[in-house]
Structure 1
Amino acid sequence: MFKKTVTVLASSMMLIGALSACGGGNNDEAANGKVTINVWGMGEEAKSLPKIVEEFEKENPDIKVNVQALPWDTAHDKLLTAVASKKGPDVLQMGTTWIPEFSSAGALMDLTPYIEQYPELAESNFFPGSITTTKFEDKTVGVPWYIDTRVLYYRTDLLKEAGYDQAPKTWDELKDAATKLKARGGNKYGISLDVNEQSLLFMFARQNGSKLIDENNKPLFNQPEFKEAVDYLNSFFKDGEAPIDLGMDIIPAFKGDGILPMFISGPWMIKLINDQAPELAGKWATAVLPAKENNISALGGSNLSVFQYTEHKDEAMKFLDYMSKPETQLKWLELTNSLPSTKKAWEDPVLTSDANLKVIGEQMNASEPMPLIKPWEEIAQNVLTTFEKIYRNKNADVQKELDSFNAKSEEILNK
């Protein structure tokens, strides 16, 4: 999840307003026979929700929807408050990594008994990886709303000069291309690897066959499959093909002479490049990730869930059904650039005619969420510290660092 911040004071005032709205509709609405449902959305994109709500209310004139937009950086605590008080929204946006925590706390309604009544919510309508994020134990506690994944961005002109008419397709080709691009000299590099991206090591480890955590809930972070992935990524830093602390944003480094001619990121970068580097038109592209045993990418995005303590289950489910319609998802794409979770929406010319967006859809067929377990966030934070010790020290004992990380992860899992 990639969210923007606002002040704590404004966030707290928003929470007070949100909680006060949770008691249902006002007297006028009750007199008019309308049911009011409250929807909590997160981040900047949630501010566009009222435009979608207008259309929903036209189709459902007996339902009034109140939208509260909460900033991501304070939303987690606000949700905890709602759970503790049993006073929250009817529908809420859930970051995919939050599902285990809030489901285990009993905050999310099991949608399983209702899904057959709402055809847009059928699991077959969504990418398999997205459906995985909506499950907890034997329950379905959400529906996919929008998605993101990671793909390779590259300068087609510079790769061509390096002997590549197309994007690298394997780990070996990626390393070779980065080496040749680095050889241009003049403080230029081959690739940017975001060491603050929690999913980076895990994603490459999966590509090398690692299961990350076994069926007995034991971490596998010091096993050969994981270590080989760490060694591979670290080689880009050791050999100077990826910078450490360049101190330069990715788009300025991507354009011009291409200080960083390749990087791995999410779909939001497509618009940023088009807006901030229009002179690169025709000189860059996206590609699915290079493969080792596979080319699994990290799956992110958001789901929509129903609050366990809602008094308006049917109305909440109608809202989820409406938000899952391909036409609604395409409207959401138009408003926010958030990519659809429904496979049918990806057949629309808006997406199929854009070569870069089409790649995102292709990568979605090989994208998986991080393990959906409550302690995962703590483990993911620790991996950043572990990898920093490795890439900043060329003489680091990689196996020793991974043994330590694995032991710490085991403690976290056994809490």
Structure 2
Amino acid sequence: MVKRFLLIALVLLTALSFGKTKIVFWQFMMDDAIAKEVLEGFSKEYPDIEIELVQLSWSTGFDKIVTAIAANAPLDVVELGNTWVANFAAQGAILPLSEQDLAKYKSFPGMNSAEYFGKYYGYPWLLGTRAMFYNVDLMTKAGLDPNNPPESWSELLEAAKKISQIPGAYGIGLPAGEVYSPWQEWFLLAVWGNNGDVVSKDLKKATLNTPQVRETAVFYQELSKYSMKSKQKDLGEAFGQGKLGFLVSGAWSIGSLAQSYPNLNFGVCFIPRPDKPTGVHASFLGGEILAIPRQCKNIEAAKKLIEYLMRPEVSMIITKHYPGVYPADPKAASDPWFDDNPLHLIFFEQLKTAYPVPPTPAWPKIEDILTNVVDDLIVSYKPVDEVLQRYNAEIQRVLDEVK
């Protein structure tokens, strides 16, 4: 009798197991403990869906995803860095969103980084950006109002001039002499804020020689006269030591500054915009995009998982573990966590005017060129027109290579 009962129970459990829909989710952001916390609600809401979670590392994850898609391996949802979306979309490796799905999320910050030639290939999940840090005490010493940090280029330039007159202080820190940071913090962001770009919308033409970029370069070169120019790490330390009035950086600096320099009196504000009606507080957009690979066998179940992960109360769980990445859903602003972390709320609001890099395969080479642009402008002080014409030609050559 006991054996018969156990046999019946085993059959029932097997039937229940076979009755579940299994989806495979490859991701970077959640370790086992966080995944358990995040997915607990999903399991209760969708007991008929089983999730196989695979955690990837940033060092090897991209190559593993490429290999899995090429091999048509079982894969239903995948987390992509936002700069990867264009690569996978161009290869037809991920599915475009339907009009119905797009309507739910098109207004979200970060949706622009899932776009490739008019179609959208993923869902913005967790986003990061840059904002401007300011030293309250230096502003006060310079006769500036720390309750009203600079909002425009002219206000920042004037404030930087005044702070640079304080012995041992610099108006602002501007990165130079390394990859990434010279254009991420803050030259290219300033170009975007001035309604310019370095590549045309169709990704075929270099646009460093446009009036918008020239105006930006002239301003940036002038601002650099009142700056400390070094690697971003060195600038972060100088800001912590009270030597810089302003510094553009990521939200990770909130915690690191508070921990390493507990006596530092600082605030955070939007990145200043150009002095024109069309000027934008533009910033750099990084983030995690949830996509559905072409080989997905359970599209409806995959969408249910994505919609669940996109909920602000769910994605905020990850934010609370990793302050510096934020939900794409604007409704997350009402989470009480931001009441206790107001500096992070500035970053969250800055996402509304954050932009991804142009979705061209030539970007890795273009960003190296932009590093040289910044160094020539603010380290060597070469003539603006000479610098922009030279490197515009270099970007054009790189673009022509990928046609």
TM-score calculated relative to the size of structure 2: 0.84
Helix, strand or coil for the counterpart of 2:267? strand
Q: 1:296 aligns with which of 274, 282, 286?
A: 282
> 1:91: which partner in 2?
77
Q: 1:194 aligns with which of 163, 167, 175?
A: 175
Amino acid at match of 1:133: S
Helix, strand or coil for the counterpart of 1:346? helix
Q: 2:319 aligns with which of 333, 338, 343?
A: 333
> 1:271: which partner in 2?
255
Helix, strand or coil for the counterpart of 2:268? strand
CA distance 1:105–1:276, shift in 2 (3 Å): same
> 2:8: which partner in 1?
none
CA offsets 1:297-349 (integer angstroms, 9 cap, x no match):
22221111111111121221111010011211222222322211101111223
Query: In the TM superposition, what is the alpha-carbon distance from 1:264 to its structure 2 partner?
Result: 0.5
Residues 172 and 226 of structure 2 are in contact (CA less than 8 Å); yes or no, is this contact kept in structure 1? no
Q: Matches of 1:91 and 1:381 in 2, distance apart?
A: 32
Helix, strand or coil for the counterpart of 1:72? coil
Identity of aligned residues (%): 25
CA distance 1:52–1:365, shift in 2 (3 Å): same
Query: In the TM superposition, what is the alpha-carbon distance from 1:66 to its structure 2 partner?
Result: 2.3
> 1:139: which partner in 2?
119
CA offsets 1:201-239 (integer angstroms, 9 cap, x no match):
2211122232433355322102232123223223344x2
The reply on whether 1:73 has 2:55 as its aligned counterpart is no
Helix, strand or coil for the counterpart of 2:174? coil
Q: Matches of 1:352 and 1:289 in 2, distance apart?
A: 22
Residues 48 and 336 of structure 1 are in contact (CA less than 8 Å); yes or no, is this contact kept in structure 2? no
Which has the larger Rg?
Answer: 2
Q: Matches of 1:181 and 1:311 in 2, distance apart?
A: 60
Amino acid at match of 1:206: W
Q: Matches of 1:358 and 1:277 in 2, distance apart?
A: 21
Residues 190 and 273 of structure 2 are in contact (CA less than 8 Å); yes or no, is this contact kept in structure 1? no
Residues 173 and 235 of structure 2 are in contact (CA less than 8 Å); yes or no, is this contact kept in structure 1? no
Helix, strand or coil for the counterpart of 2:199? coil
Helix, strand or coil for the counterpart of 1:275? helix
CA offsets 1:234-284 (integer angstroms, 9 cap, x no match):
3344x252233597361x42234x11232101222222223333333xx21
Q: Matches of 1:74 and 1:234 in 2, distance apart?
A: 39
Correspondences of 1:198-213 after superposition (within 5 Å)? 198-199=183-184, 200-213=186-199
Q: Please, which moves more after superposition, 330-339 or 350-359?
A: 350-359
Q: Please, which moves more after superposition, 144-153 or 222-231?
A: 222-231
Helix, strand or coil for the counterpart of 1:261? strand
Query: In the TM superposition, what is the alpha-carbon distance from 1:154 to its structure 2 partner?
Result: 0.7
Residues 175 and 230 of structure 2 are in contact (CA less than 8 Å); yes or no, is this contact kept in structure 1? no
Residues 128 and 326 of structure 2 are in contact (CA less than 8 Å); yes or no, is this contact kept in structure 1? yes
> 1:148: which partner in 2?
128
Q: Matches of 1:135 and 1:369 in 2, distance apart?
A: 10
Q: 2:151 aligns with which of 151, 169, 173?
A: 169
The count of residues paired between Structure 1 and Structure 2 equals: 376
Amino acid at match of 1:312: N
Helix, strand or coil for the counterpart of 2:321? helix
Q: Matches of 2:40 and 2:192 in 1, distance apart?
A: 43
> 1:348: which partner in 2?
335
CA offsets 1:122-149 (integer angstroms, 9 cap, x no match):
126623xx12122223432111101122
Residues 28 and 79 of structure 2 are in contact (CA less than 8 Å); yes or no, is this contact kept in structure 1? yes
Over the aligned positions, Cα root-mean-square deviation in angstroms equals 2.7
CA distance 1:379–1:45, shift in 2 (3 Å): farther
Residues 219 and 410 of structure 1 are in contact (CA less than 8 Å); yes or no, is this contact kept in structure 2? yes
Q: Please, which moves more after superposition, 270-279 or 59-68?
A: 270-279
> 1:159: which partner in 2?
139
The reply on whether 1:381 has 2:368 as its aligned counterpart is yes
Q: 1:259 aligns with which of 243, 246, 267?
A: 243
Q: Matches of 1:149 and 1:182 in 2, distance apart?
A: 27
> 2:392: which partner in 1?
406
Q: Please, which moves more after superposition, 154-163 or 79-88?
A: 79-88
Q: Matches of 2:363 and 2:330 in 1, distance apart?
A: 28
> 2:7: which partner in 1?
none
Q: Matches of 1:261 and 1:326 in 2, distance apart?
A: 34
Q: Matches of 1:243 and 1:404 in 2, distance apart?
A: 23
Residues 326 and 348 of structure 2 are in contact (CA less than 8 Å); yes or no, is this contact kept in structure 1? no
Amino acid at match of 1:170: S
> 1:19: which partner in 2?
none
Amino acid at match of 1:399: D
> 2:9: which partner in 1?
none
Q: Matches of 1:262 and 1:343 in 2, distance apart?
A: 27
Query: In the TM superposition, what is the alpha-carbon distance from 1:106 to its structure 2 partner?
Result: 1.1
Q: Matches of 2:75 and 2:249 in 1, distance apart?
A: 33
Helix, strand or coil for the counterpart of 1:279? coil
Q: Matches of 1:178 and 1:62 in 2, distance apart?
A: 60
> 1:227: which partner in 2?
214
Gaps of 5+ in 2: 1-12
Q: Please, which moves more after superposition, 209-218 or 266-275?
A: 209-218
CA offsets 1:3-48 (integer angstroms, 9 cap, x no match):
xxxxxxxxxxxxxxxxxxxxxxxx9698442232222222677973
Query: In the TM superposition, what is the alpha-carbon distance from 1:407 to its structure 2 partner?
Result: 1.5
Q: Matches of 1:246 and 1:336 in 2, distance apart?
A: 21
CA distance 1:215–1:367, shift in 2 (3 Å): closer
TM-score calculated relative to the size of structure 1: 0.82
Residues 36 and 66 of structure 1 are in contact (CA less than 8 Å); yes or no, is this contact kept in structure 2? yes
Q: Matches of 2:217 and 2:33 in 1, distance apart?
A: 40
Helix, strand or coil for the counterpart of 2:227? coil
Amino acid at match of 2:130: R
Q: Matches of 1:29 and 1:412 in 2, distance apart?
A: 57
Helix, strand or coil for the counterpart of 2:78? strand
Residues 44 and 71 of structure 1 are in contact (CA less than 8 Å); yes or no, is this contact kept in structure 2? no
